[in-house]
A and B are shown apart, each in its own frame.
Chain A
Amino acid sequence: MIREPVLRVSNLSKRFGGVNAVYDLSFDLYEGETLGIIGPNGSGKSTLINLITGFVRPDSGRVIFRGKDITGMAPDKIVTQGIARSFQLVRPFYNMPVFKNLVIPLFSPRVRKSKGGKYGDRGEVAIHLLEEVGFERDSNVPYKTAGTLPHGYMKRLELARCLSLDPDLIILDELFSGMSMSEIASILPLLEKINKEEGKTLVMVEHRLKELFRVVGRVIVLNFGAKIAEGAPAEVMEVEEVRKAYLGSEVEAGA
């Protein structure tokens, strides 16, 4: 039986001021898969995410999600379809208490629709979600202003925002950047749980290859906006072109 891909990206291209940010990129993503997207700085990883999630409109190409063409759809509509994303540069609602940050996504049409009209006490659901991503149980951290959180917690908050939307596909843009080794270690089992137990498809853009390769089953390597390699993590790093692209620019390339 041939599986239908959850996400199909075909011939996607985007130019910024004469430079190809993403060029003629195609790939398929299957239900329950974990996909890593790597590449040197400026290779178009973030643009690719922005293109898929509607934050940037592509010049050409298609993005099909669950059989539906979502190319050029507004970002919030894409969320409603079931794709949640995090941002590389976290920007929570600084002036709100942490848990109220999650009330916003819980108020979205997607969540309200799936939970059937009224959603009960959103604050309480928010607290649960925060615990799930590793906020200490019964501490006062969720009630503090989001702007006062340490960086690692802001990243967790981003992850919690994605989870709160109950998406089918989660795209994480450099979740690990700025996190300490121990923080990453504590978040890895969670990612595994999201993927294995809850069956969510995961795409991760990362620089921290060693940690990434513990999560993902398949990797796509970008350079100058084009795909230069695809396959299992170990295989991909053997490809000559990938080694060349990474030579000197990445410390952790030798996973």
Chain B
Amino acid sequence: MEFMSVIVFGLVNSTILALTAMGFSLTFGLSGVANFAHGGLYLFSGYVSWMLLNYLGLPFALATLLAVVVAALAGALIYRLVIMPVRGIVLSEVIATFAVGVAILELFRWLGFVTYEFNLKPFIKGSVEIAGVAVDYQRIIIIGIGMLMAAVLWYFTHKTRIGLALRGMSQDEYTALSVGIESDWAATLSLALGGVLAAVAALAILPLGIISINIGYEVLLIALAVTVLGGLESTAGLVAGAFVLGYSMTLTSTLLGPQWMEVVYLVAIVLVLAVKPSGLLGRSKELEERV
């Protein structure tokens, strides 16, 4: 049964990774901004939802919806206030967003959001047996949400007018200008959408355990690992990266013990960047011109 559990939990973990990285990847793909505040946004939406549920006593659906909207606003705000003044200076973008992310996380730590009472309830309690392996409903829901979001994401970037325009823009600003999209507006949107995806991921995944600050840092690293592994721009790459990483983590955890799980994605970042910086599916950015 060990084998089956690796297969099943590998699938679950891979979906979790894909979902976690999706917001980061989308923002990067659409506007070229590496949003290091991704982990901050992720945890922020979790806490917002918790506060809406517990302090204001809002119904679940409303709290969830509001949390997503707030995350989108936060993303847009990050762009407008922090990234826009330093747009184009990649290092400053990274430092600024990283600072925002760490600030959000550490602020919650300081406010004392670190105890066991901070947890979100699963959508449906209980579990089901798949091929002899017990899987709770929440994880199954996560797989559903993950597949749905991947499909939506793909449809948005490949089939909708606006998605195509945004993608074109990340390649060539002039093309995008000719379809009438202003660069700053597009980037704001990409950050907002990144926020939405971070929130969706957080609200689906956080019920699996308690909310803790360190998850925020982990989320950032996972997002980096998955996107680096899959190559930094395509949905297919993202899914492939998540699966490679998800199964290697599950396998490592089963064979060597759970303390090795984090080693896996950190090694993945280091190895991929050292050996094939364009990622597994990345097209030939293979330093064609060796400069």
Contacts and interface: CB of A to CB of B under 8 A. Distances in A.
Contacts of A55: 289-291
Contacts of B288: 16, 56
Interface in A38-76: 50, 54-57, 74-75
Interface string A67-91: 0000000110000000000000000
Nearest to A74: B290
Nearest to A54: B290
Contacts of B291: 55
Interface in A187-222: none
A57 to B, nearest CB: 7
Contacts of B289: 50, 55-56
Interface size range of chain B in the complex: under 10
Contacts of A75: 290
Interface string A111-129: 0000000000000000000
A240 to B, nearest CB: 35
Interface in B239-291: 288-291
Query: Main SS of the interface on chain B?
Result: loop
Interface residues of A, number: 8
Nearest to B288: A56
Contacts of A50: 289
Interface string A219-233: 000000000000000
A32 to B, nearest CB: 30
Nearest to B284: A17
A15 to B, nearest CB: 11
A57 B288 CA distance: 8
Interface string A131-163: 000000000000000000000000000000000
A71 B288 CA distance: 15
Nearest to B290: A55
Contacts of A56: 288-290
A79 to B, nearest CB: 14
A16 B289 CA distance: 11
Contacts of A74: 290
A56 B288 CA distance: 7
A110 B289 CA distance: 23
Nearest to A50: B289
A83 to B, nearest CB: 16
Interface in A1-34: 16
A117 to B, nearest CB: 30
A88 to B, nearest CB: 13
A56 B289 CA distance: 5
A55 B291 CA distance: 7
A54 B291 CA distance: 10
Contacts of B290: 54-57, 74-75
B75 to A, nearest CB: 35
A207 to B, nearest CB: 21
B291 to A, nearest CB: 7
A180 B291 CA distance: 30
B127 to A, nearest CB: 51
A54 B287 CA distance: 13
Contacts of A54: 290
Nearest to A16: B288
A141 B291 CA distance: 29
8 contacts: A16-B288, A54-B290, A55-B289, A55-B290, A56-B288, A56-B289, A56-B290, A57-B290
Interface of B: 288-291
The 10 residue pairs across chains A and B that have the minimum distance between CB atoms? A55-B289, A56-B289, A55-B290, A55-B291, A75-B290, A56-B288, A50-B289, A57-B290, A56-B290, A54-B290
